[in-house]
Amino acid sequence: MTLAALGVLVSLGVWQLQRSEWKTALIAAVEARMASAPLTLEAALAGGLTDAEFRKVRIAGVFDHAKELRLFTQRQDEGVGYAILTPLTRADGATLLVERGFVPQVLAEPSARKEGQAEGVVTVTGWIRLKDEPRG
């Protein structure tokens, strides 16, 4: 019985070490992608969607502020407010949803944050995110 328990504990320890190595490699890969020079969207997507996650891209287009989305959220250090997502339409007609950041509740209405209502063609640099997994 003692030997069986010892075997289980050793195998769990080995599993934890393997998982730690995998996680360290994953974090290093994500950090390298995030620190790299921005690519065009086409270059970032060349390897497929899975390979595109966390790639830094630079895109140009026009924000459609009329279709802005506000997602109610709360941040530990900033209180309650909204994550702002705005469609950006490129010259080729493709539309991407750009997460523009967090604003407190008092700045929820676009008229309260006129400096963020960019007109005309803008260039945006950011990271490709496919989806966020739900948190506990």
Reduced DSSP (H G I as helix, E B as strand, rest coil) percent helix, strand, coil of the chain, to 5:
40, 30, 25
**For residue 115, what pLDDT is reported?**
83
Tell me the HSE value of 27 on the side-chain side, using a 13 A CA sphere: 6
Residue range 88-102, pLDDT digits in tens: 999 999 999 999 989
Confidence category of residue 134, pLDDT binned at 50, 70, 90:
low
Confidence category of residue 131, pLDDT binned at 50, 70, 90:
confident
Residue range 37-88, pLDDT digits in tens: 888 888 888 888 778 888 899 999 999 999 999 999 888 887 899 999 999 9
**For residue 23, what pLDDT is reported?**
93
Residues 58 and 127: beta-carbon distance below 8 Å: no
User: Does residue 136 register a pLDDT over 60?
Assistant: no
Residues 58 and 89: beta-carbon distance below 8 Å: no
Strand locations in 33-68, DSSP E?
56-63
Q: Is the pTM of this model over 0.85?
A: no
Which letter, b or e, does each residue of 39-71 get, where b requires 16 or more Cβ atoms within 10 Å of its Cβ?
bebeebeeeeeeebebbbbebebbbeeeebeee
